Amino acid sequence: MIQETLPKVYNPHEVEAKWYKYWEEKCYFHAKVEPGKKPFTIVIPPPNVTGSLHMGHALNNTLQDIVIRKHRMQGDSTLWLPGTDHAGIATQNVVERQLAQEGLTRQDIGREAFIQRTWEWKELYGSRIINQLKRLGASCDWSRERFTMDEGYTKAVRREFVQLYHEGLIYRGNYIVNWCPRCLTAIADIEVEHAEEEGNFYYVKYMIKDSSDYITVATTRPETILGDTAVAVHPEDGRYKELVGLTVIVPIANREVPVIADDYVNPDFGTGALKVTPAHDPHDFEIGERHHLKSISIFTPEGKMNKEAGKYEGMDRFDAREAIIKELQDKDLLIKIEPMKHSVGHCYRCDTIIEPYLSTQWFMRMKPLAEPAIRIVEEGKIAFVPEQWKKTYYDWMYNIRDWCISRQLWWGHQIPAWYCKDCDEIIVTEEAPTHCTKCNSTNLEQDHDVFDTWFSSALWPFATLGWPEETDDLKYFYPTSLLVTSHDIIFFWVARMVMQGLHFMGEKPFDDVYIHALVRDEFGRKMSKSRGNVIDPLDVIEEFGTDALRFTLSSMATPGRDIFLSRERIEGYRNFANKLWNASRFVMMNLEGYEKAEIADSDLETADRWILSRMNHTTMHVDEAIKVYNFAEASRLIYDFFWSDFADWYVELTKPRLYQKESLYTRQIAQNLLVNIMDHTLRLLHPFMPFITEEIWQKIHQVSGNSSVESIVIAPWPKVDASMIDAAAEADMGLIQSVTSSIRSIKAVLGIALTKPVKVLLNTPDENKRDILERDSSYIYELAWVDNLIIGSNILKPEHSAVDVEQGIEIFMPLKGLVDIDEEIRRLERELAKTEADAEKSRRKLANPQFLAKAASAVVDMEQAKLAEFDDKIAKL
RNA sequence: GGGCGCUUAGCUCAGCGGGAGAGCACCUGCCUUACAAGCAGGGGGUCAGUGGUUCAAAUCCACUAGCGCCCACCA
């Protein structure tokens, strides 16, 4: 028997492993190019190969999977393309750390061996996150899995570089970049994280040559004095006008440098005199260019002082700062120290303080690429959801600066540029050249640097589909339909995909961009390992099951606010899964003798028409909610329908029929309805809770012998049957629910056990309502444990009765022998006070002539009906 | 210095122009033959503050306060 095989509590673990394997074996996730059919495509935001599933991934991929599964069920040719990102710095760091445990550095083993080792690492551990995504239930087409450094992708990246170079959109030059002294590479402007920090403003004397006068210069970074090649003042600054053109002595370095005038200087800041260090400040660099100043680098790549620093050579930059302050004090060149807050840049990867550093790098010209990317959003051809993120996108695009794309790393796409050692020619081609195109020399060397990881991920929506080859996939699935990501990578990734998509494909990469929230802990703090407040999705899956986690995340995916995740919330949805389990258990326990039957309209009771109406309403609203990516709303609708309508009321109302208190025929109708409603609801819920819905769906169809397809994954998305939406049935059922709840409430408040049978009298002059109550009186008997129900139009309140009024129906419950009447009097007084307050509010509203004149008539009618009901209730209580 | 978001029950959050909601927590009573991860019932909120628009404001507008995020070269 089924009852024996189904445990009372849903156990997600075996279910989840079983079904994922089944789905993969059946290739349900494999997308086919089917001309004539509508494609629906999402490319996954590729997680780093070093990654381990965190809540952000869990949210991101749950939402994608919901949309994907729905489209698959709708019959679209649905592709969710997965893959991973080689994640230059992150991966290199991991392997370097591994080496460090063996007492080695990457330099010790050399570039080739290091890259080899990193590939080995990738083969071993790179699939971890993929397996975690599978545990999450992600229905990706794994046959199309890509990696940003696989062979085809490498070809795409080379094409990107070479083409942009020949179009003049990529150039190489010696500029100030953000240098990370720990990662030993340049990073892009947006990879620098600024933080307000306590610092000092040091006022330093710069002696004027052959004079005892001096200019006071204020700086936050005295160690850079050693690289100064000028002092700049504003041309209109009266205080310094006469000093322009003179020579001053740079302290400690004792270098003679000019006083120059430049508009950049702000006379109101500091002392109005600026020390110029072209090699270590981007603005100073520009001033240096304008005035043809020398650039003197004083740091090594590691952030130590170099030989230009003289006796400070070899000292760490921050130790040197202290030492130099001391020396300035000793030489009486330091006037004062003022504390000040200033913004300090940190490496986004390792948090090391960034050093502006002069070096030769490759850059991409962004303005020409940004223009079409701005236009496509302005024209509404790419939609951001929520819309407000458009502004963020525009702000960045309008103020875009050139992008430093070269990185001094070993792990990544090595730049396909070769330098002729004989004639200095630069050769940029996709395939390695054999000889110099200018002097024919074979003495060539490839650029040592690799590309910024985002330079390759910018191609993700089309390189993964085969570009630069014109594959069938590319033609069919591009542009993709939707991108799901969080707002922290709008600049890094979204913006650049738009630019490169438009540039290389001539077409936008996606239609919609859905931006979801960041996941924080229950107190709103960022989850971080150091804080110890990380809720690991894999732990949650262990404890509550994947479906509970997914449903939690989906329920909280409302636009506009970050998600503060708490375990309690997850537990609540675990309980929902259990509710589903037990409701289906109930259905299956009562399917004996089930036969599929066509249900005629005349077979339907009020409760049936009501639940079918509610079901279709729910489905309609779920469709609408998903369409606008309101996952929280969709989840709530299904939750409420299933628990509050189906389980709490409908299931109870089918019991008399199932328990054969009536005929076998009505039992069969009830069985069919239950199976149909479960089937429909499970399909509606499947994208959100794929595992439990499959498990139950399979079981129900096994018992009912009723399946037309072999898995819910490919079952059709539930259709709305508008003819089943039945306002009358909903109103009738509402009446029954009101009366039932009232009786239950009276019993509960007066301490009468629900299961204690009572006598109830219902009085109303409304003939229609009496008919409904008569017709469906069995519901009241069943739900409120009434054993004697009298319905009439002229019933007077029996002595010692509890009384209530619901929807104009007087409800009397004789209490004789049941309970002390005083408690009922107190209850009634509370009820009366509340109703009188409500009535008063209504009355005031209706007494206002403005309200009557200006409000919509439906609103006025409603208010009048409300007041009438309140008054009626007051009169009767 | 700009920009954005948030502030609703003890907690986590919906609602975003016409009767203040859910889950958890709390209180009362129930092992009612699907479910105690449950059932029935109940208490609890000047919807951050001030002002405005409107017949009507949690909802729209302005300002204020607090929290959070993003951008910005002021050394």
Q: Give the whole-number percent of chain A exceeding pLDDT 70.
A: 97
The answer to whether A345 CB is within 7 Å of strand B is: no
Q: How far is CA A181 from the centre of its chain?
A: 33
Are the C-beta atoms of residues A611 and A580 closer than 8 Å to each other? no
How far apart, in whole angstroms, are the C-alpha atoms of residue A566 and residue A587? 33
Our measurement of CA A562 to C1' B23, in angstroms, reads 18
Residue A2 has pLDDT above 50, yes or no: no
- How far is residue A697's CA from residue A679's CA, in Å, rounded to a whole number? 7
**Which residue carries 């732990």 as its tokens?**
A539
CA of A859 to C1' of B57 (A): 16
CA of A212 to C1' of B44 (A): 78
Element holding A146 (H helix, E strand): strand A146-147
Nearest nucleotide relative to A838: CA against C1'? B19
Backbone angles phi, psi at A351, to 5 degrees: 70, 5
Residues 269-288 of A with CB under 7 A from strand B: 269-275, 281-283
- Nearest Cα to A535, choosing from A546, A557, A520? A520
Determine if strand B comes within 7 Å of the CB of A337: no
Residue A5: CB less than 7 A from any atom in strand B: no
**Dihedral (CA of A239, A225, A204, A283) sign:** positive
Q: How confident is the model at residue A526 (pLDDT cuts 50, 70, 90)?
A: low
With 0-12 / 13-18 / 19 or more C-beta atoms within 10 angstroms meaning exposed / middle / buried, residue A131 is exposed
Window A825-844, strand B contacts by Cβ < 7 Å = 830, 838
- Gap from A540 CA to B40 C1', Å: 31
pLDDT at A79 over 90: yes
Q: What is the mean pLDDT of residues A644-671?
A: 88
Q: Is any atom of strand B within 7 angstroms of residue A848's beta carbon?
A: yes
| Tens of pLDDT, residues A777-809 | 999 998 999 989 999 999 988 888 888 888 888
Task: Considering all nucleic acid strands, name the nucleotide whose C1' atom is nearest to the C-alpha of residue A578.
Answer: B37
Q: Which residue, counting CA atoms, is nearest to the C1' of nucleotide B39?
A: A648
* Mean predicted lDDT score pLDDT of chain A: 89
The H or E element spanning position A838 is helix A821-847
The yes-or-no verdict on residue A358 having pLDDT over 80 is yes
A788 CB and strand B closer than 7 A: no
Name the region of A32 (left: φ>0; alpha: ψ -120 to 50; beta: rest): beta
Amino acid making up residue A819:
V
Q: Does at least one atom of strand B sit less than 7 Å from the CB of A524? A: yes
- pLDDT tens-place string over residues A660-699: 766 788 899 999 999 999 999 999 999 999 999 999 999 9
Query: pLDDT for A161-187, tens place per residue?
Result: 999 999 999 999 999 999 999 888 999
Nearest nucleotide, C1' to the C-alpha of A754?
Answer: B40
Tell me the pLDDT band of A197, cut-offs 50, 70 and 90. confident
Cβ neighbours of residue A762 closer than 8 Å, sequence gap 6 or more? A739, A773, A789, A790, A791, A792, A795, A809, A810, A811, A812
ipTM of this predicted structure = 0.95
- Which residues from 169-208 of A have any strand B atom under 7 Å from their CB? 189-190, 193-194
Residues 701-720 of A with CB under 7 A from strand B: none
pLDDT above 80 for A837? no
Q: Where are the alpha helices (DSSP H) in A344-482?
A: 367-378, 389-398, 453-457, 460-463, 472-477
Q: How far is the CA of A532 from the C1' of B14 (A)?
A: 29
Q: What is the pLDDT of residue A5?
A: 66
pLDDT band at A817 (very low <50, low <70, confident <90, very high): confident
Amino acid identity for residue A418 in this structure? W
d(CA A784, CA A798): 20
Locate tokens 């996954």: which residue? A44
Q: How far apart are CA A789 and CA A774, in angstroms?
A: 9
Q: Does A352 score more than 60 pLDDT?
A: yes
Is the CB of A221 within 7 Å of strand B?
yes
Q: Is A195 exposed, middle or buried (0-12, 13-18, 19+ CB in 10 A)?
A: exposed
Question: From the Cβ of A261, is strand B under 7 Å away?
Answer: no
pTM above 0.90, yes or no: yes
Those nucleotides of strand B lying less than 7 Å from any protein Cβ are 3-7, 11-15, 18-19, 23-24, 28-30, 32-43, 54-56, 67-75
The pLDDT assigned to A1 comes to: 41
Return all residues near A663 (Cβ < 8 A) that are at least 6 apart: none
E strand intervals along A223-266: 230-233, 247-250, 255-261
Q: Which residues contact A349 (CB under 8 A, 6 or more apart)?
A: A89, A90, A93, A180, A183, A187, A191
Residue A822 has pLDDT above 80, yes or no: no
- The DSSP result for A32-72, as a single string, is ---TTSPEEEEE--PPBTT----HHHHHHHHHHHHHHHHHH
**Residue A642 to residue A647: CA distance in whole angstroms:** 6
Measured CA A626 to C1' B37 distance, in angstroms? 28
Protein CA A681 to sugar C1' B47 (Å): 34
